[in-house]
Amino acid sequence: MEAGICYIKPEYLVTEGNGNSEAITTENSETNKRKRDDGHELETGGKKKWDKKERKRGQNKNRPVFKDERYSHLCHSLIDGTGGEPCSLANCRYVHDLNAFLAAKGEDLGPECYVFSTKGYCARGVSCRFAKAHTDENGRNIKREDYDENAPPTTFNGVSSELQVRLRKHEYDFSRSKQLIKLAENLRDARKQKEQKEKDDKEKLSAAEENQSAVSENSDKHGKEPPVDSKEQETPTGCAVDDSPIGRDAEKKPAVDFREKLVLSPLTTLGNLPFRRICKEFGADITCGEMACAQPLLKGMGQEWALTKRHKSEDVFGVQLCGNNPNMLNQAAQVIHETAQVDYIDLNIGCPIDLIYQQGGGSALMRRTNILELTVRSCAALSDRLPFTVKMRTGIYADKSVAHELLPLVEEWGASAVTLHGRSREQRYTKHANWNYIEECAAKAKNMPVIGNGDILSYEDYVERRTLAPHVSSVMIGRGALIKPWIFQEIKEKQAWSPLSNQRYEMLQKFCNYGLEHWGSDTKGVETTRRFLLEWQSFLYRYIPEALQEAPPQKINARPQKYRGRDEMETLMSSGNAADWVKLSESLLGRVPDGFTFVPKHKANAF
């Protein structure tokens, strides 16, 4: 059998020219590979060859983004329907013509509002796309009798208006952060001084030994003992550094136990709160928000702070930070620690995105060790109850791994755990993750948990990786969870689960409900939910049911042969065509607006 191919049972195979419009055509064929954005190909030696620089990109850049002009926001004074209090703002920019708004909104998408049915009240009121479920005969928004206005919120974090003002006016007190940076600088300078002293002493000792050898030879010739220099016999004093175990170096019980856990990777765009809720229900132990950049957080930007939001079901939750400046990173960590409910903070030093890397953040920090040391030392010292972790790759270049050198240093600087993705920045997601190297690095850690990451799509993959890397404490799953969110359940139950198409459809329905609760059930919220559903479907379609495979389990980098599903829905879910994803979303969230187009952000078809 050819490597990289997932072989399908003969009864589900599709042959060329069979006329079946429902058949799934794999990207293994040349006609189904996505073309470059400019549509051009390079000719080399008579064969079509993709541009190397283009292949390395992980996103569909310059993709068309559809903007829906059908709706505007209804003024809050009219949210509860007719007869509300008049708007008190002289220059209110929202819609005040209720009838015109309702006409533009269109028909309801269904008879039941998930938010109203679960909470007893829908704050979107008449702007909700399921408004008839919670409006009376007069068009007023209603509250169910069992609705509790004082019930605790189900979602935490984000930025308040008061915090926004303090951040934007530079009124937030970061004196603690400045002290920690200064302390980290002193420790770094003391370490360098000590290393230089040891180097100088080693050179002096080597020179003294050479001199002693020469004198001995001379003494043997003349029969005299060489004079003894008392200064050379003095014990080196070393560097005057206080070695007492204080702060993060003190022995203590960690606030979060990262050992023997299933960790959901922080996933840009796709690791949103509704998706994390799905993964928690399937058995993920630890979740982490999407990568948030330190600078926008410190500017109080609501869009960036939204990445810190946490659902009550996420019992162990962390926020991942990215940046290129230790002062900014430490200040962002401080304000999150003081204003948000998080269990740990993670530093991203593995992000391969060009923009982040060129600015000195992400994987660029793996070569900026002075900056990395200041960041880890200062952030780890924020609180002995707030673990600070680091997520890294093997290095920047495929042929030059540096993680084995960095990992012991990061532990020395105070990190509570390190996640190692077994690929370099240069490799992105091509080639297989190097778990032998992950084990080599994990073996160098003294007491710090090391979390392995890469290429786990089944329980068998999990067992194989843990056997290859016995020093790895836990496993983090990213793309595997996007393709098979039930991977956590499979690992815990130690057996494969092959959901039917109706079970997978119910999972998508649940995601949409969670999305409407999180982003809103009005038109904007519906379309936001649709966009994230379509982005997720660009990974979900890669799942191949075990019953269709000749030799399960599926490997994450293996392309399937051309095949059809066991029913129409399974065939639709397995399609790599974005138009089919839109069709699937319409069955869940209603028709798309006229002129709607979708191109996925990530080139998830790269096997």
Query: pLDDT (tens digit, 9 = 90+) per residue, 254-296?
Result: 579 999 999 999 999 899 999 999 999 999 999 999 999 999 9
pLDDT value, residue 99: 83
DSSP assignment, residue 289? P
| Cβ atoms 327, 300 nearer than 8 A | no
pLDDT band at 195, cuts 50/70/90?
A: confident
- Of 127-141, 210-224, 403-417, 523-537, the poorest mean pLDDT is in 210-224
Cα–Cα dist 477/271, whole Å:
12
Q: How many CA atoms lie within 13 A of 439 on its CB side?
A: 10
Strands (E), 514-602: 559-560
Residue 451's CATH number: 3.20.20.70
The string of pLDDT tens digits covering residues 299-315 is 999 999 999 999 999 99
Q: Which of 20-29, 84-93, 490-499 has the lowest mean pLDDT?
A: 20-29
Q: What is the DSSP string of 18-77?
A: ---TTPBPPTTSGGGSPPPTT---EEETTEEE--HHHHH--B-TT-------S--PBPGG
Query: Is the per-residue pLDDT at 39 higher than 50?
Result: no
Which pLDDT does position 35 carry in this prediction? 36
Strands 42-44 and 47-49, sheet pairing: antiparallel
In a domain, 401, yes or no: yes
The residue with tokens 């919120």 is: 153
302 located within any domain:
yes
Catalytic, out of 6, 75, 293, 351: 351
In this structure, what token pair is assigned to residue 361?
């953040």
Whether 36 contacts 51, CB under 8 Å: yes
Listed range (15-19, 132-136, 581-585) with the worst mean pLDDT: 15-19
Q: Which of 139-143, 405-409, 415-419, 435-439 has the lowest mean pLDDT?
A: 139-143
Give, in order, the Cα–Cα distances in Å from 572 to each of 13, 25, 508: 15, 12, 13
Least confident of 33-47, 374-388, 422-436: 33-47
Q: What pLDDT was estimated at residue 250?
A: 39
- The question of whether 128 is a catalytic residue gets the answer no
pLDDT bracket for residue 594 (50, 70, 90): confident
User: Mean pLDDT score of the chain, rounded to an integer?
Assistant: 85
Whether residue 228 is predicted with pLDDT greater than 70 in this model: the reply is no
Look at residue 216 in the predicted model and tell me its pLDDT.
65
User: Over 70: is that where the pLDDT of 604 sits?
Assistant: no
CB atoms within 10 A of CB 497: 14
Residue 360 has pLDDT above 90, yes or no: yes
Tokens of 188: 């770094």
* Residue 327 in domain: yes
- The total of structural domains in the chain comes to 1
Range with the poorest average pLDDT among 14-23, 289-298, 551-560, 580-589 = 14-23
Q: What pLDDT band is residue 36 in, cutting at 50, 70 and 90? A: very low
Is 119 inside a domain boundary? no
The lowest-confidence range among 213-227, 525-539, 581-595 is: 213-227
Q: Which amino acid appears at position 35 of this protein?
A: K
Question: What is the average per-residue pLDDT within 547-558?
Answer: 94
At residue 138, the pLDDT reads 84
Q: Is the pLDDT of residue 230 over 50?
A: no
Contacts of residue 223, defined as CB under 8 A and 6 or more positions apart, other chains included, come to none
Backbone conformation region of residue 98, classed left if phi is above 0, alpha if psi is from -120 to 50, else beta: alpha
Q: Using 50, 70 and 90 to split pLDDT, how confident is the model at 84? A: low
Q: Exposure of 6 by Cβ count < 10 A (0-12 exposed, 13-18 middle, 19+ buried)?
A: buried
Q: How far is CA 561 from CA 216, 428, 447, 498, 548, in A?
A: 78, 25, 46, 19, 11
- Indicate whether 213 belongs to any domain: no
Contacts of residue 214, defined as CB under 8 A and 6 or more positions apart, other chains included, come to none
Answer yes or no: is pLDDT of 497 > 70.
yes
**Domain extent at residue 314:** 259-497
Q: What is the pLDDT of residues 439-484, one digit of tens each?
A: 999 999 999 999 999 999 999 999 999 999 999 999 999 999 999 9
Angle 56-58-62 from CA coordinates, rounded to 5°: 105
On whether residue 323 sits in a domain, the answer given is yes
Question: What is the token pair recorded at 388?
Answer: 């600070």
Whether 228 is covered by a domain: the verdict is no
Q: In the predicted model, what is the mean pLDDT of residues 224-236?
A: 43
pLDDT value at position 61?
61
- In-domain check, residue 239: no
